[in-house]
Structure 1
Amino acid sequence: MWIGTLFALAAGLMWGLVFAGPQLLPDYPAAMQSFGRYIAFGLIAMPLAWIDRARMRELTRADWIEAAKLGLVGNIVYYLFLASAIQRAGGPLPTMIIGTLPVVIAITSNLRDAARDGRLPWLKLLPSLGLIATGIGCVNQVELQALRADPAADFGAYALGGALAVGAVACWTWYPIRNADWLRAHADRSPRAWATAQGLATLPLAALGFALFWAWSAASGSAFAMPFGPRPGLYIGLMLAIGLLASWAGTLCWNEASQRLPTTLVGQLIVFETLSALAYAFVLRGRAPDALTLTGVALLVAGVMWALRVRPEPVAEATVHGA
């Protein structure tokens, strides 16, 4: 149990780095950060694919197309939304919105697959949803107060950042459900090889996106210094670090935790990612969160953990209980 929990903590600490990237590179367009991260991840996946080459040969053309779809939505578009959201709204609010993912995924999955997996009864979920909404509201209130105190603040950019974070949630709600569908339909395949395949399939998409962004920058007369921006060492180093630690090592640690811990507990420990991301955000701001922000974070964590304890019920029984 302790080893599994430590693996989950390590995964959360590394996954939180993806939220720090846009704050460390605020002058870099979100597209540069998304394409750069997944070029790095794709390059890291290449030697892994060679090691697993026997498994990789089992994948069909249809499998590679599915891997490309998953990589496009769950990797590139997701991080494009997330990086854009953080650059416009700061770290705390997008992190809180992304922190609702375990609940959103559980609800979406159970609504879609209710006949097979059962349905989460709404009446039992209402308290947790109320806690989550109140927690996000607390953090939003603190951020709005800070904006009102800043004469140069852009409320429109802040609102757009929140909307982009919701878009990121939509991408990463679709991704794990679609990914689980493939894994369930191909129970004889290696999950490790499938993750590597997604990294490889994402590489050409990310490289093409980077090239198109470079061409667009040149055609529009942008002053941004392509290909690696004004701080190439930091940019390249950060993209490699996020690609290695967040995209590969973080997932590896999470898989190790998943093998050691009950599924219900693993689902709750994903809050380590949210807490790590918030901690990094306030470290980079150079100040501690105030009491209302801490209250909001506590409410969010409590709401997620409460919701993940609610078990699906057979459809007929769930209907009786108000689903």
Structure 2
Amino acid sequence: MSHRAALVSGTLFALAAGLMWGLIFVAPLLLAAYPPAMLSVGRYLAFGLIALPLAWLDRVRIRELTRADWADALRLALVGNLLYYLLLSSAIQRAGGPLPTMIIGTLPLVIAVASNRRNRHRDGLLSWRQLAPSLLLIGAGLALVNRAELAQLAPDADRGRYALGALLAVGAMACWTWYPIRNADWLRAHPGRSPSTWATAQGLATLPLALAGALMLAGASAAGWIELGGPLGPTPWRFVGLMLVVALLCSWLGTLCWNEASQRLPTTLAGQLIVFESLAGLAYAFMLRGQWPPADTLAGIVLLIAGVAWALRARPQPVAAVA
């Protein structure tokens, strides 16, 4: 595949993943009566159950995975799935949708900085002169959106609650800085392996973790430490339906699309394309609010898109050439 074809197809896969991943920012708002731990366990329990028939259909390639591969899948599932969504759900229920969405939107900046020199021998090196325009555009866009959201806060709003939500979102951002870098390491080290098989493997690795979490939640509920409102909460059908939708679209299909993008794009560039997730989440949050974004938010979105477009023009240079 030519460089241009890989760039275009990888970007389209990243866009598809972002559009699906954006749904994770509205599910906690639609299930506001549910504790974040239950949302995280429910989502990944559904993901693991969906992965079982997929693994059976793909059993030949699943059997080719080694013990080291399964250890990697387990680590990715724990940090990039369960812990990430636990922190993100907690942040959204405390600070609303847009603020955590835009904190997660700093991922393109953080991943680009973290992966550029780390992966220079594999992906080539993007000079800071190449990165600076896109990073500045994305940073300015995020600043505008965050300023608009802070201006929307009511005078009597619980600022401490919003601050805690922001802090939890930073923790989620740290999890998802680590996840795409380590996930890309595996995918680029195994170019002959199917991205769909790896997505399914992560679902299988998530299942025992989610089951353990469900047992812990049941025990905490029985002891009276938390109130779940029944085994499936106060609105069981909505909970089950949303968990299945999020598990299928966000956890499996979104991960599949992201794996396809990660095999085609340098990690530094792929990291910047996570901005699609933030844009989708922001759009869904305003649709849920039933209002049009304010001028500052729209200006920020334009800057975000411009930053991504600029990033696509940059070509990594081999380390020897740069030196």
* TM-score normalised by length of structure 1: 0.85
Q: Which one of 116, 120, 131 corresponds to residue 125 of structure 1?
A: 131
Residues of 1 paired with 2:321 and 2:29: CA distance? 47
The residue number in structure 2 matching 1:198 is: 202
Identity %: 66
Once the two structures are TM-superposed, the CA of residue 254 in structure 1 deviates from its matched residue by: 5.5
**Residue in 2 that maps onto 1:40:** 46
> What is residue 172 of structure 1 aligned with on the other side?
176
From 304, 308, 312, the counterpart of 2:308? 304
- Indicate how the Cα distance of structure 1 residues 275 and 138 shifts in structure 2: closer, same or farther if over 3 A, else same: same
Checking the alignment, whether the CA contact within 8 Å between 1:96 and 1:297 is kept in structure 2 is no
The equivalent position to 1:154 in structure 2, one of 141, 154, 158, is 158
What is the rounded CA distance, in whole Å, between the counterparts of 1:6 and 1:20 in structure 2? 23
1:30-57 per-residue CA deviation (whole Å, 9 max, x = no partner) reads 1111111110011000001101111111
Which residue in 2 is equivalent to 1:250? 254
Q: What is the deviation of 1:230?
A: 0.7
Q: Does 1:237 align with 2:238?
A: no
* Residues paired across the two proteins, number: 315
Q: Secondary structure at the match of 2:223?
A: helix
After TM superposition, the structure 1 stretch with the greater mean CA deviation from structure 2, 261-270 or 176-185, is 261-270
- Work out the CA distance in 2 between the residues paired with 1:272 and 1:242: 17
**Correspondent of 2:142 among 136, 141, 146:** 136
Check the 8 A contact 1:118/1:313 in 2, yes or no. Answer: yes
User: How far apart are residue 216 of structure 1 and its match?
Assistant: 1.8
Structure 2: how far apart are the matches of 1:318 and 1:89? 44
1:222-276 per-residue CA deviation (whole Å, 9 max, x = no partner) reads 33313211111111110001111222233445667889x9889987765443222
- Equivalent in the alignment of 2:282: 278
- Aligned equivalents of 2:260, 2:111: Cα separation in 1: 21
Cα distance between partner residues in 2 of 1:6 and 1:58? 29
Q: 1:110 to 1:194 in 2, by over 3 A?
A: same
Q: RMSD of aligned C-alpha atoms?
A: 2.9
Task: Identify if the C-alpha distance between structure 1 residues 268 and 166 changes in structure 2 by more than 3 Å, giving closer, same or farther.
Answer: closer
- Give 2:230's match in structure 1, choosing from 226, 230, 241: 226
Q: What is the alpha-carbon distance in structure 1 between the residues aligned to residue 170 and residue 307 of structure 2? A: 18
How far did residue 205 of structure 1 move? Answer: 0.1
Do 1:42 and 1:199's aligned partners in 2 also have CA atoms closer than 8 Å?
yes
CA contact (8 A) 2:180 2:271 kept: no
Structure 1 unaligned spans of 5+: none
Q: Which runs of 5+ in 2 are unaligned?
A: none
Deviation of the 1:294 alpha carbon: 1.2
TM-score, scaled relative to structure 2: 0.85
